[in-house]
Structure 1
Amino acid sequence: MTHAPFSSLQTLSAAELSNLEQLGFQYMTEIQQQALPPALAQQDIIGQAKTGSGKTAAFGIPLLHKLNQRFFAVQALILCPTRELASQVAEDVRKLARFQANIKVVVLSGGVGIGPQIASLEHGAHVIVGTPGRIKDHLRKGTLDISQVQTLVLDEADRMLDMGFRDDIEHIVGHTPAERHTMLFSATYPANIEQLSRQMQRKPVRISVESVHQSSSIQQRLIICPRNQKPELLIKAIQHFVVEHAVIFCNTKLEVEEVAQRLRMEGYTSLALHGDLEQRDRDEIFVRFKNNSAHFLVATDVAARGLDVDELPVVINYDLPHEREVYTHRIGRTGRAGSTGLAISLAHDKDSFKIAAINALQGMDMHEYPPEKLCRKPSKVTKPNMVTLSLAAGRKDKLRPGDILGALTNDGGIPGSSVGKIDVLEFTAYVAVERSCARQALEHLRTGKIKNKSIKVRRV
C-alpha cells in the first residue's frame, strides 16, 4: 500500500501539518490512511490494528480537530484498559495538540489517589483519558461531567472487556450524549466487540489493518521441549541468540516471578511485571525497561498493556498464549518501522493445537529450532548501559524535561550526550544516564537545584 502524506488531508490546517511534521509524521500509516478521512468526516469507526500501527494519531487527530479550545468543558473521552496505556495515550494527544494553545488533557486512572485528580478537574479539562473503573468513581462522586462529550474513544476495547469492564463502560457511555462521535479500536474482533459496536455506534466504518506480520521483518523461532526443561532452555536461547534486551511473556503471575528470579540468578537485570504490584512500582518498571536500564521485562499480557518501546529487538514467549491473536499482538512489539526483529517461543508437546492455530492465522509456519542446537555461551553478563534516576517532582510541579537536562549538564555536570530518555509523570520524573557517570549525575542533582528548588533524587 502506498502511504499518502498528511498534507493530502484537505481538512488539516497549516498549523496542524507543521506540528505533525515536527513530530516526524510525514506519511500516514495504513490505519491512519484508512481511518482519518471518515473519522474527520465524523463517521463512527471500528478499527482493528496491532500495537505500533499509529492508531493513537488515527483517533487523536479527528478528536482534536473538532475541539473548541474556548469551551472549557470535557469534549473528548478516551477509555483505556490500563493506567500505563492511558498515560501513554495522554502524552501522545498532548503532542498532537501542540498546534493549539491551552488544550488541557487530564489522566484519570486507578493506582493513585483520587484527591489530586478531583483538584485537577476543578480547573476544567478538554480531554479526559482514563480507565473505566476510575472514570466511574468520578461520575459517582459527581466530580466529572461528561454530558458535553462530542468524541468518545474506546482504545484496546477487547482488553477492557477481557478485564471485566463491560458494565463500567456501559455505565460511562450512558452519561455521554447520544449524538456523539464514537471510535472503537481493538486488536481482535471477538463476538463481544461486535455486540459492543452495535450497542454504541451508528453505521460505523469498519477498518482492518493486516495484523499478520511480514516474515521479512520478524524472524520467528519455535523451540519445542519438555515443560521441565523450559527454564534451562530459556537461558540457553538467550545466550545462543545473544539477547541483551527483550520482553518475556508468561501466562501466569507465578511464572513471571519464577522466570525473573531465574534470570537474576544468571546475572541479568530482570524486572517482573504483573497486576499485584503497586502503581509506583509499575511505573518504575516500565521506565527502567524503556530506558535500557534492565536486560529483561518479564510480564503477563494484561500487565504489559501500554508498553510501547520504539526499538525492541526481541520478544520471547516463555508460554504460548491461549489465543492465537495474542501471539500476533505480542510479537508485533518487535520488527517495527522497517527494522528486523526476533520472536522466540518455547512450547511443549501439548501445545500442538496452539502452534497449528498460530500458523493458520499467519499463513506460514513458525521456524522450528531444535533445542539440541542451542549452545550455552558462558560469559560474564555485562550490566545495562543506562541507569535510571528518580526525582520527587513531576508535571504538577511544572517540571519539564528541559529543566532536568539543564540541571544535569550545568556547571560541573555531565555531558548532554550521556543523558538518555527523560520521563516526566504527574508527581515523579525519571531520567536515564550512562552508567559510567551515574554517580556524578546523582551527586550533581542532590547538591544542585532545579528551578531554584532542591528536589529529592535517588537511583532506581
Structure 2
Amino acid sequence: MTDNAFSTLNLPAAQLDNLQQLGYQAMTSIQQQSLPLVLEGKDLIAKAKTGSGKTAAFAIGMLTNINPRDFGAQALVLCPTRELSTQVATEIRRLARYQQNIKVVVLCGGQSIGPQIGSLEHGAHIIVGTPGRIKDHLRKKTLSLARINTLVLDEADRMLDMGFYEDMEIIIGETPEQRQTLLFSATYPKKIKSLSAAFQREPVEVTVESIHSNAHIKQALYITSKDNKLYGLERILANYDVQSAVIFCNTIKVVKEVCEYLCQQGFSAKALHGDLEQRDRDQILVQFSHRSCSLLVATDVAARGLDIDDLEAVINFDLPRDPEIYIHRIGRTGRAGKEGLALAVFSDSEKYKVDAIAEYQAMPLDFEAIETLNSDKDAITEPPMVSLCIGGGRKEKVRPGDILGALTGDAGIQGKAVGKITVLDHVAYVAIERDVARQALKRLEQGKIKGRKFKVRRLR
C-alpha cells in the first residue's frame, strides 16, 4: 500500500469503495496534505489552483461530518462564480454516493430565486453557492446557517477580487463560532491573510507548488509604446498565426476596447467580463470551447471556470501586478504534456512587472521590440467550426446522442463533421464544421430531435 492511497485515511469502507468506483486511484498532492488535517477537524489554509483535486480535498472530509437524517444545512461552500459552484456541487454529489439521500443545493445568481426557495423548503445537507445569492436567501430568511459545522471558502482570492468581502463577512457571521473553516486560494495576497485572521482558528497552512513546469510553455514578450499596444497585439497574432487564444486584460473597460478593435480588424473575438448576463456568458464560453470563436478577451475573474483542455496560447495584453496571477494565467496553456505559448505585449511603464515576474519565476524573461516581428503575414482565418443553438436541453430530456443522431441519421452529414456537443438545462449547442453548417442547420430545422421540433439558430 502506498502512502498516497485513500485507504491510509480513516474513512468508512463504503466511502473507499465509492472512491475506487469513481476512479480516484491515489491522492493528489493537495489531498495528501489536506485530508488528514480536515479529518482531524482542523482549520486549513490551502494554496492550490484549479485542477489540483482540491474539491475532493475538502469534500471527502466534509461528508464524514454530515448526518443524513438531519435535513438542516450542515456544510456551506462559498464559490466566486456560478460555473465553479456547479462544478463543485456535481463533484460533491459523486463523492456522496456512498451515503443515501445526501442533498446538495446550488444557490447562485443568474437563476430565478423561486425554485431555489422550493429546494430549500425540502431540506438540504450541503449548500454550494455564490456570496451574493446566499446573502439574498439569508435576508429573505429562506436559509438558516445556524447548524453549519464545515465552512469552505473556495477560490477565496477570486471572491475578494470580485468585492465579496462584506457579503462573506455577513454570511460567516450567521454560522456557529464552533465550526471548521477551510480556505482554498490559488494565490496568497495580504487580503487572504486578513480574511484568515478574522474567520479561522489556528489554521494549518498547506501549499501545493503552483508554479508549473515551464518546459512545455514558450514565453515571448514584446515591448512597445502605450499607444501602440493594440497594433502590437495584432502583430503578435499575425506573426504566431494564433488560431485559439485567451487574451487577458486587467479591467472590463480594456476588455471591451481590445475586443472591439479586434472585431474591427476582422478577427473572430468575444469579450468575457463580469457585466455580462449569465446566458450570454454561457454562450460565449460554449462558442470558444467549440472553436467557433477564435479569441476570448477576458478579465481574470471572468475566466474562472473556463476549462479548455487544449488551449493553444495565452496572451497578456495587460500584465498583472501580481506575478502569481501571471503564472496562473499562462498555466492554462501547455497542459497534459502539450506545447503551450504564452505571449505578452507591454509598454515601458509596465517593465517593473516583467522584472517582478522574472524574479518570481527565478529565471530571466527576455523581451524584444514589437518591430522585430514579421508584419507581412495575414493573421485572419475564420474559426473552423460554427455553433448551432437548439432550444431544448437536459430538462427537455435532450442528450448529446439525440442531437448527433438527428444530424447524421439517414443520408445526413458525416459524423466527423460534428464537433463538441454541450447540453445545458434548457438549451443545447453543437459545433459543426463551417462548410456543412448551413446543411446541418437546415436538417435540424426541418427534422426532429427525440420526435420533437425545437427552434434552432446559428450563433454569430
Length-normalised TM-score, structure 2: 0.89
- Is the contact between residue 78 and residue 154 of structure 2 (CA under 8 Å) also seen in structure 1? yes
**Deviation at 1:338?**
2.8
Q: Tell me, what secondary structure is at the counterpart of 2:187?
A: coil
The reply to whether residue 87 of structure 1 matches residue 89 of structure 2 is: no
Structure 2 CA distance, aligned partners of 1:243 and 1:376? 14
Residues 321-400 of structure 1: pairs in structure 2 closer than 5 A: 321-379=320-378, 381-400=380-399
**Deviation at 1:188?**
2.1
The reply to whether residue 50 of structure 1 matches residue 49 of structure 2 is: yes
- Is the contact between residue 51 and residue 332 of structure 1 (CA under 8 Å) also seen in structure 2? no
- Is the contact between residue 19 and residue 95 of structure 2 (CA under 8 Å) also seen in structure 1? no
Q: Tell me, what secondary structure is at the counterpart of 2:374?
A: coil
Structure 1 CA distance, aligned partners of 2:226 and 2:3? 45
The aligned amino acid for 1:392 is G
Kindly report the root-mean-square deviation, in angstroms, between the aligned alpha carbons of the 2 structures: 2.8
- Is the contact between residue 238 and residue 379 of structure 2 (CA under 8 Å) also seen in structure 1? no
- Is the contact between residue 72 and residue 126 of structure 1 (CA under 8 Å) also seen in structure 2? yes
**Deviation at 1:272?**
0.7
Structure 2 CA distance, aligned partners of 1:312 and 1:37? 35
**Deviation at 1:374?**
0.9
Q: Look up the match of 1:424.
A: 423
Residues 310-325 of structure 1: pairs in structure 2 closer than 5 A: 310-325=309-324
**Deviation at 1:398?**
4.7
Length-normalised TM-score, structure 1: 0.89
- Is the contact between residue 272 and residue 299 of structure 2 (CA under 8 Å) also seen in structure 1? yes
Single out whichever of 379-388 and 132-141 deviates more from structure 2: 379-388
- Is the contact between residue 248 and residue 316 of structure 1 (CA under 8 Å) also seen in structure 2? yes
Q: Look up the match of 1:283.
A: 282
Q: Look up the match of 2:19.
A: 17
Deviation per CA, 1:263-316: give whole Å up to 9, x if none: 223332101112222221111111211222211100122222222222212110
**Deviation at 1:135?**
0.5
Q: Look up the match of 1:301.
A: 300
Deviation per CA, 1:301-347: give whole Å up to 9, x if none: 22222222222121100011122222122112122233332111111
Q: Tell me, what secondary structure is at the counterpart of 2:314?
A: strand
The aligned amino acid for 1:90 is A
The aligned amino acid for 2:375 is R
Structure 1 CA distance, aligned partners of 2:360 and 2:265? 36
Q: Tell me, what secondary structure is at the counterpart of 2:55?
A: helix
Structure 1 CA distance, aligned partners of 2:63 and 2:417? 36
- Is the contact between residue 7 and residue 17 of structure 1 (CA under 8 Å) also seen in structure 2? no
After superposition, the Cα gap between the structure-2 partners of 1:236 and 1:82, relative to the gap in structure 1 and judged at 3 Å, is: same
Q: Look up the match of 2:149.
A: 150
Structure 1 CA distance, aligned partners of 2:122 and 2:450? 24
Unaligned segments of structure 2, at least 5 residues? none
Structure 1 CA distance, aligned partners of 2:69 and 2:450? 31
Structure 1 CA distance, aligned partners of 2:356 and 2:8? 40
Deviation per CA, 1:190-220: give whole Å up to 9, x if none: 2332222233223322111222232213221
The reply to whether residue 39 of structure 1 matches residue 38 of structure 2 is: yes
Structure 2 CA distance, aligned partners of 1:417 and 1:101? 41
The aligned amino acid for 1:252 is T
Structure 2 CA distance, aligned partners of 1:450 and 1:242? 39
**What percentage of residue pairs aligned between the two structures are identical?**
56
Structure 2 CA distance, aligned partners of 1:105 and 1:418? 38
Structure 2 CA distance, aligned partners of 1:64 and 1:440? 50
The aligned amino acid for 1:341 is G
The aligned amino acid for 2:296 is L
- Is the contact between residue 388 and residue 432 of structure 1 (CA under 8 Å) also seen in structure 2? yes
After superposition, the Cα gap between the structure-2 partners of 1:147 and 1:438, relative to the gap in structure 1 and judged at 3 Å, is: farther
Structure 1 CA distance, aligned partners of 2:414 and 2:3? 39
- Is the contact between residue 52 and residue 308 of structure 1 (CA under 8 Å) also seen in structure 2? no
The aligned amino acid for 2:11 is T
**Deviation at 1:234?**
1.1
Q: Tell me, what secondary structure is at the counterpart of 2:344?
A: strand
The aligned amino acid for 2:25 is Q
Q: Tell me, what secondary structure is at the counterpart of 1:216?
A: helix
Residues 231-246 of structure 1: pairs in structure 2 closer than 5 A: 231-246=230-245
Q: Look up the match of 1:250.
A: 249
Unaligned segments of structure 1, at least 5 residues? none
- Is the contact between residue 395 and residue 427 of structure 1 (CA under 8 Å) also seen in structure 2? yes
Structure 1 CA distance, aligned partners of 2:416 and 2:92? 28
After superposition, the Cα gap between the structure-2 partners of 1:181 and 1:424, relative to the gap in structure 1 and judged at 3 Å, is: farther
